[in-house]
Chain A
């Protein structure tokens, strides 16, 4: 019976093809909106969390100068190498750290000029910042101890400066200092802020301080926290240690800034999550409107087909069979709309994520949910018209003009 009723419903939908399509349209748009919104939202979340993770796992960034949005920063007293060594020694939750000083310098190779960020840091830099070696070798302790004039360059810098030349062993000039390229890093892509993370030169900190900066300042300390420790807790320990070392009075504010990348990552994820949920909710309302559209058309259809219903009842259809017929009709309409909406929504999300250069994250649970929800819309909004049909008295239905 279910099968033949289904066949009957499909025939009825075909019989009124144009009206059926218009009826479905509401659900199609609703479902497509839900799918597209959520998929693009998930793509945005994934993109941001990927970017933050690409900075380094469980990373704390310690910088001099209070971090005040909008206002002028407090005069920054730079760190020195001893700060980093003390943190390393006194705080057990620290896995590795990299005291770093940097400066924007024009690099020269042959007749090529390229303005890039030159960092002086310890060999831990690559580990802490999650850079992988592409070719050659990374900096080591011996380079640091002897303040060798060697450097490792990012892939963008390599491309812009050396072009197709083999970089290893070549000498590039950084300002007035010559240094030999010993390694090239693998590409990491741009950061959350749109910065190219592959445009950099890394040389030993000592070399940098002696030849480029001309001082012993450390402008940032990258700190990687042990996997089994909380970044928040380690962050607190570092903060109080630094307050003590820099002699900050208990009632004074920090004159340095400690950023917890995990915290920022969580915050961003939460924000985009809320945004996705909000967009999804708006889209769900349009699905609801689509459902009301179905109910409207089904009610019209019941009135229009009153005589047909009377005939069916006269030839022996049970009230529940009439109910089932109309219910199945509305469910079929709604689920067909749902499937079309899923296809359109995924297509739209694909185009949307491509134009926003976000990753396309297929979310099966949302697709499943949208499908179930559209079928549910069919049941809920189809029930009232179907009940109306099933409750018709056969004589009155047959007399209906």
Chain B
């Protein structure tokens, strides 16, 4: 898939009046209630909020894992609502990397093979796959651990493998859903440093969901959700 023509910065990723409603009638839940959000390339956006605030729903919509009930989402100038399921999958494959709270690595599968997985779906040849996966693992500081399975790695290392897997396709947007949720504070800090480093040196746009305010401050921008609304949108410590 060829990269779409560059768009004006302020049109790169746009959410306009997005709502997401679960259920109907009495049991209707408005997870998102008219969200407007614009993200520019190179930003490190921390999305804050307590559970049920709608931050994860928003992230799923940005990641094309979920569709909004109403409102417009454009990415690279493309109206995402008009893409079918396969096209959305291809969009994820080529432009978006995911990091999950629980790592979601394939068990009993080496770190290298885990990182290669997205490249398999992109029909990259084995040799190039190995090279790129090795390079991605080196980037997250896991040289020499290529043959280790998740069970043989610590939590912090597993999350680094997951980041390497997200980065190996060179996505333009990295979505991280509570990436430090299963890590102790020292590992959390190391991981945040890695994400900031990737954001600064490679211009990788990061959208990170968290409920810890200290972690949110690592971002260049902090967006706070409550009850399906954005109640705050300000620069973070990382902006300085």
CB within 8 Å of A: which of B64-85?
Answer: 65-66, 85
List the 8 shortest-distance A-B pairs measured between CB atoms, nearest first: A316-B93, A311-B104, A316-B92, A315-B118, A314-B98, A394-B65, A15-B108, A318-B89
Residues of B within 8 A of A310 (CB): 104
With CB as the reference atom, state the residue of chain A lying closest to B101: A398
Task: Name the distance in Å between B75's Cβ and chain A's nearest Cβ.
Answer: 14
Q: Which residue of A lies closest to B166 (CB)?
A: A315
In the bound complex, CA of A176 to CA of B201 (Å): 119
CB of A319 closer than 8 Å to a CB of B: yes
Task: Kindly provide the distance from the CB of B23 to the nearest chain A CB, expressed in whole angstroms.
Answer: 15
Considering the chains assembled together, what is the distance between the CA atoms of A314 and B64 in angstroms?
A: 9
Q: Bound state CA distance, A317 and B106, in angstroms?
A: 15
Q: A4-B120, A15-B109, A321-B121 are in contact. Are A315 and B66 (CB under 8 A)?
A: no
Q: Is there a chain A Cβ closer than 8 Å to B132's Cβ?
A: no
Closest residue to B162 on the A side, CB-wise?
A311
CB of A8 within 8 Å of the partner chain: yes
B89→A313 contact, CB < 8 A: yes
In the complex, per-residue mask of A320-335: 1 if CB is within 8 Å of any chain B CB, else 0: 1100000000000000
A314 touches B92 (CB 8 A): yes
Residues from chain B with a CB closer than 8 A to the CB of A318 are: 86, 89-90, 121
**15 further A-B pairs in the complex, CB-CB below 8 A; given A311-B98, A395-B60:** A1-B123, A4-B123, A15-B108, A308-B104, A308-B106, A312-B117, A313-B65, A314-B98, A315-B165, A316-B93, A316-B94, A317-B89, A318-B86, A321-B121, A398-B65
Asked whether A11 lies within 8 Å of B121 as measured between CB atoms, the reply is no
Q: Which of A15, A308, A316, A319 contacts B121 (CB 8 A)?
A: A316
- Cβ of B156 within 8 Å of any chain A Cβ, yes or no, is no
A310, A316, A320 — most chain B CB neighbours (10 Å): A316
Nearest opposing residue in chain B for A314, CB measure: B98
Instruction: Determine if B179 is an interface residue (Cβ-Cβ < 8 Å).
Output: no
Which residues of the other chain, A, contact B120 by a CB distance below 8 angstroms?
A: 4, 8
Whether A395 and B92, one on each chain, are in contact in the complex, defined by CB atoms closer than 8 angstroms, is no
B94 and A319 form a contact (CB under 8 A):
no
A387 / chain B contacts, CB cutoff of 8 Å: none
Residue A307 CB within 8 A of the other chain? yes
Interface contact tally, CB-CB below 8 A: 64
Do A319 and B109 contact each other (CB < 8 Å), given the known contacts A310-B104, A395-B65? no
Cβ of B109: which chain A residues have Cβ within 8 Å of it? Answer: 11, 15
Question: Which among A4, A311, A315, A320 is the interface contact of B93 at CB below 8 angstroms?
Answer: A315
A15 to B98, CA, bound (A): 25
Residue pair B121, A317 in contact (C-beta under 8 Å): yes
B166 neighbours in A (Cβ, 8 Å) = 315
A398 touches B104 (CB 8 A): yes
> Is B100 interfacial (CB-CB < 8 Å)?
yes
Check if B49 is an interface residue, CB within 8 A of chain A.
no
Interface presence of B63 (CB below 8 A): yes
Complex Cα distance, B122 from A236, in Å, reads 78
Least CB distance, B194 to chain A, in whole angstroms: 19
A395 to B22, CA, bound (A): 14
Shortest distance from the beta carbon of B110 to any chain A beta carbon, whole Å: 10
Contacts of A315 in B (CB 8 A): 92-93, 97-98, 117-118, 121, 165-166
8 residue pairs from A and B, CB less than 8 Å apart: A4-B123, A11-B109, A11-B113, A311-B100, A314-B100, A316-B90, A316-B94, A316-B122
Residues on the B chain within 8 Å of A4, using CB: 120, 123
Q: Which residues of B contact A321 (CB under 8 A)?
A: 121
Q: Decide: A314 near B65, CB < 8 A? Known: A11-B109, A308-B106, A398-B104.
A: yes
B64 to chain A, nearest CB (A): 9
Q: How far is the CA of A24 from the CA of B169 in the complex (A)?
A: 37
Interface residues of A in 20-48 (CB under 8 A from B): none
Query: Please, how many angstroms separate the alpha-carbon atoms of A134 and B98 in the complex?
Result: 86
Q: How far is the CA of A394 from the CA of B89 in the complex (A)?
A: 10
Q: Are B118 and A395 in contact (CB under 8 A)?
A: no
B118 close to A316 (CB less than 8 A): yes
Return A401 CB to nearest CB of chain B, in Å.
Answer: 10
Q: Give the CA-CA distance A166 to B122 in the complex, in Å.
A: 84
In the bound assembly, the distance between CA atoms of A193 and B102 in angstroms comes to 75
A398 touches which of B90, B100, B106, B123 (Cβ 8 Å) = B100
Instruction: Give Cα distance in the complex from A53 to B95, angstroms.
Output: 76
CA distance A316 to B64 in the complex (A): 10
Contact indicator per residue, chain B 36-75, by CB within 8 Å of chain A (1) or not (0): 0000000000000000000000001001011000000000
- Taking CB atoms, residues of chain A closer than 8 Å to B94 are 316
Binary interface encoding of chain B residues 169-187 relative to chain A, with 1 for a CB under 8 A from any of its CBs, else 0? 1000000000000000000
